[in-house]
Amino acid sequence: MGSYRVCLCFTRRFGLIDLEPPSEVRDLFKKYTSGGAYMAPDQLRRFLVEVQGGHETTIADAEKIVEEVLNQRHHIAKFTRKSLTFDDFFYYLFSVDLNPPFKSQIHQDMTAPLSHYFIYTGHNSYLTGNQLTSDCSDKLIIKALRQGVRVIELDLWSNSNKDGINVLHGRTLTTPVDLLTCLKAIKDHAFESSEYPVIITLEDHLKPRLQAKAAQMITQTFGEFLYYPPSVYPEEFPSPEDLKHKILISTKPPKECRQAESDMVNVSSNSSERDLEHPSQRKIIDMSESEHDEINGNGYISQDKSQRFEPTAYKSVIAIPQRKCKLEEAIKNDLGKAVRISLSEQKLEKAVVSQGQDLVRGMEKCSGKCTGCLEPMEGAVMSKKPDFLVDGNQVFDPKVKLPLKTKLKVKIYMGDGWRMDFKKTHFDKYSPPDFYTKVGIAGVPADETMQMTAIKDDQWIPIWNEEFTFPLTVPELALLRVEVHEHDNDKKDDFGGQTCLPVSELRSGVHAIPLYSHKGEKYNSVKLLMRFEFV
């Protein structure tokens, strides 16, 4: 029972609805146990194969699930039985960790060039809050890596003394964090969520001498994890498989001009020979000439005055060069080698409308980064693009309406977790929240749509039991968008969580779907119970 004080005169009381499993879940349990009280591992395996899309599930897999559920729910029964009650079964289905909607391991071909994959990308990965006044911290970088982000963006600026490097959102009031701190955080946490490569994109605002210091810190921090580019940039990127446990630097190559050279003088006489060596074999700093080098408090190598930085030091660590080019160049694929280009969402949207087919062709070998805010997306650490986006023999035209390929049926049973993650009065001061869910498709124009459930008044555990069907012409590019809102009559509806689910990665069956905040942070408890079916 929950109480809400309306005024000094009286208090409103609301009963808390129990976490009541959907009737369809009860029917599934009865079906696969033949009406029995317990579900044995072999019965669970049959359910996982026939309903949950787990065609590769073995008896050993089912036994492991039973063991894990019993370990989490029971302290004594785990020693006395090896089967699930109905409550255990429902607990398993509504567990985000035990029953996600995607396969837990990478199952795609990971041997194609890196540009053939969608990559989970961070933007201003170091900011703790807004882009104008918040703090910069390595903690946010660590959090992003643990969530599966594979591209970390760092904005580099000189410190107030012009002798060190800070990471911050330039020309704002954000407080900086030292570059070395960020690099160490990346090294320590790069591969906690995935063994596939981490790309660091540097927005570089440094003078040549500080660029050389940045190169020095990068090579010393990452060591064997750092991927060095070949002497001549290739036409295509290496594959994610080839780049396992590697860290790649991507930024604009420095200008090789007299001004840069004049800032880096007194290079040893054999530097021209070293410049011809492979970057991984070349020392960033010619430390052999000094016996007094040591690490100072800033993490840099101290040198005597006779020693200066090599002009090619910074360029030698750039594995993916960023190319500043016009949209027309990218569309025509006149870049000549594998590079990264950055486009604003506005320019990209215009190009898709007016030159969509040419844009697809031009991006086959390049890695593109679109600036803007994307919704949090489950199951998308690194996933392969469909063949029609990377095969030069067939060029996809997003403007052409294609025939129906499949239909996705989505049922939203219920939601829970807000009562644990939010204060009682977070949504409404005088009553429990009134939740509704919006669900739809983001993809090619023919597939895009958004629909809405009924509003469930005064319920912390909303039960909708509503089904929606989405016809799909290009399911390979479709994202299932899910948003929960809390209805208010007199003001803007409150936000209750969101996620995006790549349709091509969805498994059929009943699954628990975690929801995320506006900032992309996963809620501790908020989740939905949903069912997916392709027809």
Write out the catalytic residue numbers. Answer: 123, 169
For tokens 């073995």, what's the residue? Answer: 58
Strand order of the β-sheet with 522-534 is 449-452, 435-442, 479-486, 494-502, 509-516, 522-534, 406-416, 463-472
Pairing of strands 247-251, 198-204: parallel
For tokens 């302290």, what's the residue? Answer: 75
Rounded-to-10 torsion of CA 344, 349, 355, 359: 50
| DSSP character at residue 275 | T
CB 111 within 8 A of CB 239: yes
Pairing of strands 294-295, 435-442: unpaired
CB 212 within 8 A of CB 310: yes
- Long-range contact set of residues 14-20: C-beta below 8 Å, sequence gap at least 24: 14/431, 14/432, 14/458, 16/419, 16/460, 16/461, 17/459, 17/460, 17/461, 17/463, 18/461, 19/416, 19/461, 20/463
CA angle 449, 455, 456 (to 5 degrees): 140
Alpha-carbon span 339 to 351, nearest angstrom:
19
Using CA atoms, how far residue 162 sits from 6, 182, 202, 207, 405, in Å, is: 59, 19, 18, 9, 59
Instruction: Report the 10 Å Cβ neighbour count for 74.
Output: 14
CB 246 within 8 A of CB 187: no
| DSSP character at residue 313 | T
Structure tokens at 265: 């003088």
CA angle 62, 67, 68 (to 5 degrees): 100
Alpha-carbon span 379 to 147, nearest angstrom:
10
Instruction: Report the 10 Å Cβ neighbour count for 230.
Output: 11
Structure tokens at 183: 């690099």
**Sequence-ordered list of residues with C-beta below 8 angstroms from that of 406, at least 6 positions apart, any chain:** 472, 475, 534, 535
Closest CA to 262 of 317, 204, 208: 208
